[in-house]
Every structure is written in C-alpha cells, then in structure tokens.
C-alpha cells in the first residue's frame, strides 16, 4: 500500500502552487500545495457518493470553491470505502443555504451546513482560519461577547467560526491525512501539510504543535486513537507522546460530545482494538472510570469481567462486519455490569433488600456514567432492562419463560447472558438451555418446560407476615418489640 501511494505522487506527478492567501500569518502565506493530477491518484468519481458530487458541482456552478476533504479523500487513497463525505468551501453557511433547498445549518461551536439527501447527509463546512492562540504566551485577551473564536481557560477552543482560505483551513484541521483536498474542477488532490507522505508511511500526525492542538481540542486524542485503529495506522511519536499527560483534559469536554465520540469509537467495527489502545494510553479512566476501577483488581472476578468485555467488543465488531444491527445500550450494559454488581453487594451489606439494592445500584452507576458520556435515556433504560432481566433468566418455569420470551428485550438479555457465561459452567448450562429452547419446536419446548416444572421446588421459608396470625408465645420470644 505504502508503495502504491508513494508511486502515486512521485516527483514527476507533483506540481507546487503558491496559493493567494490574504492572511498576514507568514507560515500560511508561504505554504505551498503538493498537487496530484488526476492520473497520479486513485480518487475517482465512481468511488464518491453521487450526492457529494452533486454538492461539489453545484457549489462550483454558483461560483464558489468546493473540495472533498477529510475521511472521504483519505479513505479512498487508502483503498477503503469512506463512511461519509465532507465538503469544504469558501461559501459561508448562509451562502450555502442559498444554493441548496435541502440544507440545514447546525452547530454553535462549529457552524456548518448539512445537505440532506434522504438518509445521506453531506456535511459542508466553510474554510476556517486558525484562531489567534494566546495560551502559548500565557496572555489572556479580552474579546467581545459575540466573538467568532474563543478559547476556555484550559486553552480549549469553545468556538471556531473564523472563516479563512483553503490554506488556513488545511492548517486548522487535526491530522495531515485529514487535510487532503479533492476538486472536481480538474480532479486533482491538494496537500498543504504533508498528508500524502504520512499516508504513504501509514502515520497519523497532528498538524502543528501536538500539545497545543490537544489543549485546543482534547477530543483529538480520541480521534487519533480511533483513526489509528480503524485504518491500521500508527500514531507518529510526537503526536503520541503528549497523550498520557494530557488525556485528563477530556474531563473538560462536554458529555454530549464524548457520547458521540464513544459511539464512533465503539460502533464502527474496531471496538476491541480501540478499547485496548484507550487502556494502553491511559485514556479510559477519563471515559469509563467505574469500569477501569472494576478491572483494576487482580482477582478472578476482574479477569472474568475483562473476558466478558472483550468478548462483547469482539462480538460487536463481528456483527458490524456482517451488517447486523448493534446498539450502544448493549455495550454500555456490558462495560458497567461489574460496577453495578459491586455496588449492589455493597448496598445489600448495608441492609438494603436485594431487589431494591440492584435497582439503586443500576441507577447510580448509570447516572455517574451519563455525567461523563451523555447516554440518551432511550439507551440507558434499555441497558437497565438488560440488567433487570438477568435474574429472571434463571427462572425456567413455564409462566416465567412465556413472559420472558415475549419481552421486547429478551434477545438482548439472552445475548448478554450468553456472553456472561464465558467459562462459568453453571451460567453456561443456563445459557445453553435458553439456546436450545429457542431452537426447539413447540413439542420439544413443552418437554423442556415440563422437565423443569417437575423438578421439586426449593422449600420456601414462611414469610414473617404469616407468622403474625399464628404467633405462639414461644415464637414471640425472639421478635423485637415494635417501635411505635
Ligand atoms: P470518519 O471516517 O470517521 O468520518 P473523518 O476524518 O472524516 O473520519 P469527521 O468527523 O467526518 O472525521 O470530520 C471531517 C474532517 O473534519 C476531518 O477529516 C478533519 O479534517 C476535520 N476535523 C474533524 N474533527 C476535527 C477536530 N476536532 N479538529 C480539527 N479538525 C477536525
Ligand atoms: Mg467524515
């Protein structure tokens, strides 16, 4: 692969151009693009979505510059199918809206246009200029309230809406491999930041000073890890180095954004590799602190939990590869399972009845996670249902089985049980019973249920409430007097 890309932009295919830049930033004014002409690269219109092409042509016809950029160009150059297509233009969001009827403007921190084509969305962003960084000098600037670019006390970019030229746009992007521009004017690919070299060497490299870029937006830490795992690229050493020290900055990122990123990391077909790398880089503790703590113990339970989580992540990746549906509710149910169990035990030890303890633990653990990654209620409720059904799955009597099978979350709860079983012989037997039951025909199912129903029930202790009516003098001896 590296060889192919290297050949694609060998010297004879390169042409340097000096873009006209209005900025007084010398670095940018001097920036030159490496241009790969059509016959020197693999980005063909056949590999680009028809809707993305429509957007590019329409913007050009309206007199604007328009480029395919980001994952769309990067993935095609790597021989992969892009997940989505992003467009960059010199038209402002309002000008974009005037060109497309099917356009919706979104975002505050980063304003952009979504062009809607049924289920496909083409994201169109106006060229951004880099903001004036003040964190390097340590100076604080007094800026007007309606400012277009703003950094927080931690140096984080909380607004990024200063428009600029294509060169400025290239340098404010995160990684060099994400800053490649494809135009339908002459079908060439433009590279201002060395992305083609890095692609050839299969490297993720932050543009500019890595520490400053992570401080500006700590989510770039997650993006570096996600893209490295998704594309099988390595994170170049100076880009990798500050991650351990700076990942704590993720605690300043909004829970809504972290939720989005978690979804991208865990539901894009590379969950297992990404999860492992998040651990290795010391990032997980800021995303899933309860899980990290539950895994930290050196005992067999922690080991079993580790295997359970790995099995679930592997399974998720496999389902995505087979185009089967996946839900974040299931994965979050998995990664929070041991924290919920541990808290349940603690609450029982404090005297709470088991059912109440498990309900309370589920809510507390989920709430704590939602503060970090804003899991929408529709998913957190499903995760709680999956947990709630685990106990019920151990009851195989007729009535219970009929109502469980009809339960909307039965399948998820069964899958969860199956993964939990791992190497535990007792749980494996139970999971196998449910597998066999679902595979069996009606007659065989009846036989299975009859076998269970004919087993002698465990003797139940009489409830104290019944004792009350038949209390004898002897029994009252040990009952403490009721407090009034
Ligand atoms: P994917 O395959 O996941 O879509 P992508 O690189 O296209 O990968 P997007 O989230 O679609 O990711 O973003 C599109 C482009 O916008 C990126 O390629 C990058 O150039 C730029 N970008 C996205 N997020 C950031 C960020 N936090 N900082 C700087 N640039 C970013
Ligand atoms: Mg994209």
112-155 tens-digit pLDDT: 999 999 999 999 999 998 765 333 333 333 444 345 666 777 77
Q: Say if residues 332 and 383 touch (Cβ distance below 8 Å).
A: yes
18 has a pLDDT exceeding 80: no
| Mean residue pLDDT across the chain | 86
Whether residue 173 has its Cβ less than 6 Å from ligand 1: yes
Pair of tokens at residue 363: 């809510």
Angle between the 377-392 and 328-335 helix axes, to the nearest 10 degrees? 60
**What pLDDT is recorded for position 462?**
60
Residue 76 and residue 177: Cα distance in Å, rounded? 12
Whether residue 420 has its Cβ less than 6 Å from ligand 1: no
**What pLDDT is recorded for position 454?**
66
The band of 95, judged by pLDDT with boundaries at 50, 70 and 90, is very high
**Nearest-CA residue for atom 13 of ligand 1:** 70
Pair of tokens at residue 4: 């192919």
| Strand 86-89 to 120-126 pairing | parallel
Whether residue 317 has its Cβ less than 6 Å from ligand 1: no
Residue 351 and residue 390: Cα distance in Å, rounded? 22
Residue 115 and residue 103: Cα distance in Å, rounded? 4
Pair of tokens at residue 146: 């309606």
Angle between the 328-335 and 300-321 helix axes, to the nearest 10 degrees? 170
**What pLDDT is recorded for position 132?**
54
Q: Which of 205, 273, 210 is nearest to 246 (CA)?
A: 210
The verdict on whether 174 is a catalytic residue reads yes
Instruction: Kindly give the distance from the C-alpha atom of residue 223 to the centroid of ligand 1, in angstroms, as a whole number.
Output: 8
- The ligand placed nearest to the CA atom of residue 128 is 1
Whether residue 415 has its Cβ less than 6 Å from ligand 1: no
The band of 478, judged by pLDDT with boundaries at 50, 70 and 90, is very low
Whether residue 86 has its Cβ less than 6 Å from ligand 1: yes
- The ligand placed nearest to the CA atom of residue 173 is 1
Whether residue 41 has its Cβ less than 6 Å from ligand 1: no
The band of 448, judged by pLDDT with boundaries at 50, 70 and 90, is confident
Whether residue 15 has its Cβ less than 6 Å from ligand 1: no
- HSE value, Cβ hemisphere, 13 Å, CA-based, for 269: 11
Q: How far is CA 355 from CA 343, 361, 362, 420, in A?
A: 13, 10, 11, 20
Q: How far is CA 106 from CA 103, 112, 122, 123, 476, in A?
A: 10, 6, 12, 10, 71
| Strand 234-235 to 203-204 pairing | parallel
259 has a pLDDT exceeding 70: yes
Given 75, 86, 90, 198, the catalytic residue:
86
Angle between the 410-421 and 398-405 helix axes, to the nearest 10 degrees? 110
The lowest-confidence range among 148-157, 243-252, 317-326 is 148-157
Q: Which of 105, 130, 126 is nearest to 115 (CA)?
A: 105
Whether residue 169 has its Cβ less than 6 Å from ligand 1: no
Q: Which of 174, 176, 224, 263 to mutate to test the pocket of ligand 1 (most atoms within 8 A of CB)?
A: 174
Which atom of ligand 1 is nearest the CA belonging to 125?
16
**What pLDDT is recorded for position 22?**
36
**What pLDDT is recorded for position 411?**
93
The band of 458, judged by pLDDT with boundaries at 50, 70 and 90, is low
Top-ranked range on mean pLDDT: pick from 83-92, 295-304, 455-464, 465-474: 83-92
**What pLDDT is recorded for position 44?**
95
219 has a pLDDT exceeding 90: yes
**Nearest-CA residue for atom 8 of ligand 1:** 71
The verdict on whether 439 is a catalytic residue reads no
**Nearest-CA residue for atom 28 of ligand 1:** 174
| Over residues 427-454, mean pLDDT | 86
Instruction: Kindly give the distance from the C-alpha atom of residue 86 to the centroid of ligand 1, in angstroms, as a whole number.
Output: 8
Instruction: Kindly give the distance from the C-alpha atom of residue 185 to the centroid of ligand 2, in angstroms, as a whole number.
Output: 21
253 has a pLDDT exceeding 90: yes
**What pLDDT is recorded for position 455?**
66
**What pLDDT is recorded for position 437?**
86
Q: Say if residues 115 and 85 touch (Cβ distance below 8 Å).
A: no
399 has a pLDDT exceeding 90: no
Given 75, 160, 169, 174, the catalytic residue:
174
Whether residue 270 has its Cβ less than 6 Å from ligand 1: no
Whether residue 84 has its Cβ less than 6 Å from ligand 1: yes
Instruction: Kindly give the distance from the C-alpha atom of residue 260 to the centroid of ligand 1, in angstroms, as a whole number.
Output: 13
The verdict on whether 84 is a catalytic residue reads yes
The three-state (H, E, C) secondary structure of the chain, written as one string = CHHHHHHHCCHHHEEEECCCCCCCCHHHHCCCEEEECHHHCCCCHHHCCHHHHHHHHHHHHCCCCEEEECHHHHHHHCCCCCCCCEEEECCCHHHHHHHCCCEEEECCCCCEEEEEECCEEEEEEECECCCCCCCCCCCCCCCCCCCCEEECCCCCEEEECCECCHHHHHHHCCEHHHCEEECCCCCCEEECCCHHHHHHCCEECECCCHHHHHHHCCHHHHHHHHHHHHHCCEECHHHHCCHHHHHHHHHHCCHHHHHHHHHHHHCCCCHHHHHHHHHHCCCHHHHCHHHHHHHHCCCHHHHHHHHHHHHHHHHHHHHHHCCCCCCHHHHHHHHCHHHHHHHHHHHHHCCCCHHHHHHHHHHHHHHHHHHHCCCCHHHHHHHHHHHHHHHHCCCCCHHHHHHHHCCCCHHHHHHHHHHHHCCCHHHHHHHHHHHHHHHCCHHHHHHHHHHHHHCCCCCCCCCHHHHHHCCCHHHHCCCCCCCC
| Over residues 157-169, mean pLDDT | 85
- The ligand placed nearest to the CA atom of residue 169 is 1
CA 112 to chain centre: 21
Question: Could you tell me how many residues make up the chain?
Answer: 484
What domains can be seen in the chain, in order of their start residue?
2-135+147-201 (3.30.460.10), 285-454 (1.10.3090.10)
Instruction: Kindly give the distance from the C-alpha atom of residue 44 to the centroid of ligand 2, in angstroms, as a whole number.
Output: 17
**What pLDDT is recorded for position 151?**
73
| Over residues 14-40, mean pLDDT | 58
Which atom of ligand 1 is nearest the CA belonging to 84?
4
Which atom of ligand 1 is nearest the CA belonging to 179?
20
Instruction: Kindly give the distance from the C-alpha atom of residue 70 to the centroid of ligand 1, in angstroms, as a whole number.
Output: 6
58 has a pLDDT exceeding 90: yes
């Amino acid at each position: 692969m590296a060889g192919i890309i290297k050949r694609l932009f060998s010297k004879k295919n390169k042409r340097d151009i000096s873009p006209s830049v209005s900025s007084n930033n010398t670095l940018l004014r001097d920036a030159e693009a490496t241009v790969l002409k059509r016959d020197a690269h693999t980005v063909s219109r056949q590999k680009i979505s028809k809707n993305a092409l429509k957007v590019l042509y329409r913007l050009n016809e309206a007199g604007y510059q328009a480029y395919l950029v980001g994952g769309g160009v990067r993935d095609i150059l790597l021989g992969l199918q892009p997940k989505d297509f992003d467009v960059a233009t010199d038209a402002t969001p309002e000008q974009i809206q005037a060109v497309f009827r099917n356009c919706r403007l979104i975002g505050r921190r980063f304003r952009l246009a979504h062009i809607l084509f049924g289920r496909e969305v083409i994201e169109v962003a106006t060229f951004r200029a880099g903001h004036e960084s003040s964190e390097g000098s340590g100076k604080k600037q007094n800026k007007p309230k309606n400012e277009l670019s703003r950094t927080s006390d931690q140096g984080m970019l909380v607004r990024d809406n200063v428009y600029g030229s294509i060169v400025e746009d290239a340098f404010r992007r995160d990684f060099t491999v994400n800053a490649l521009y494809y135009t339908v004017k002459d079908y060439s690919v433009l590279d201002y930041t060395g992305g083609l070299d890095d692609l050839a060497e299969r490297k993720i490299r932050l543009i500019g000073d890595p520490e400053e870029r992570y401080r500006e937006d700590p989510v770039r830490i997650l993006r570096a890890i996600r893209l490295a795992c998704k594309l099988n690229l390595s994170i170049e050493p100076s880009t990798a180095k500050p991650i351990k020290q700076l990942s704590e900055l993720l605690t300043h990122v909004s829970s809504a954004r972290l939720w989005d990123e978690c979804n991208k990391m865990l539901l894009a077909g590379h969950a297992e590799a990404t999860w492992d790398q998040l651990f290795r880089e010391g990032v997980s503790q800021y995303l899933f602190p309860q899980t990290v703590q539950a895994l930290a113990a050196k005992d067999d339970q922690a080991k079993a939990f580790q295997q359970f989580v790995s099995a679930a992540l592997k399974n998720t990746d496999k389902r995505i590869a087979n185009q089967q549906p996946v839900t974040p509710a299931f994965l979050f149910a998995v990664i929070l399972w041991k924290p919920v169990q541990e808290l349940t035990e603690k609450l029982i030890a404090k005297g709470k009845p088991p059912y109440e303890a498990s309900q309370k633990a589920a809510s507390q653990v989920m709430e704590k996670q939602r503060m970090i990654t804003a899991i929408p209620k529709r998913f957190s409720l499903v995760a709680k249902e999956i947990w709630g059904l685990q106990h019920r799955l151990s009851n195989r009597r007729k009535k219970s089985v009929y109502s469980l099978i009809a339960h909307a979350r039965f399948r998820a709860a069964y899958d969860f049980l199956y993964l939990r079983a791992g190497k535990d012989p007792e749980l494996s037997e139970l999971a196998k019973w449910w597998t066999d039951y679902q595979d069996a025909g009606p007659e065989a199912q009846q036989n299975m249920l009859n076998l269970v129903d004919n087993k002698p029930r465990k003797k139940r202790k009489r409830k104290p409430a019944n004792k009350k009516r038949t209390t004898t003098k002897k029994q009252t001896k040990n009952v403490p007097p009721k407090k009034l």
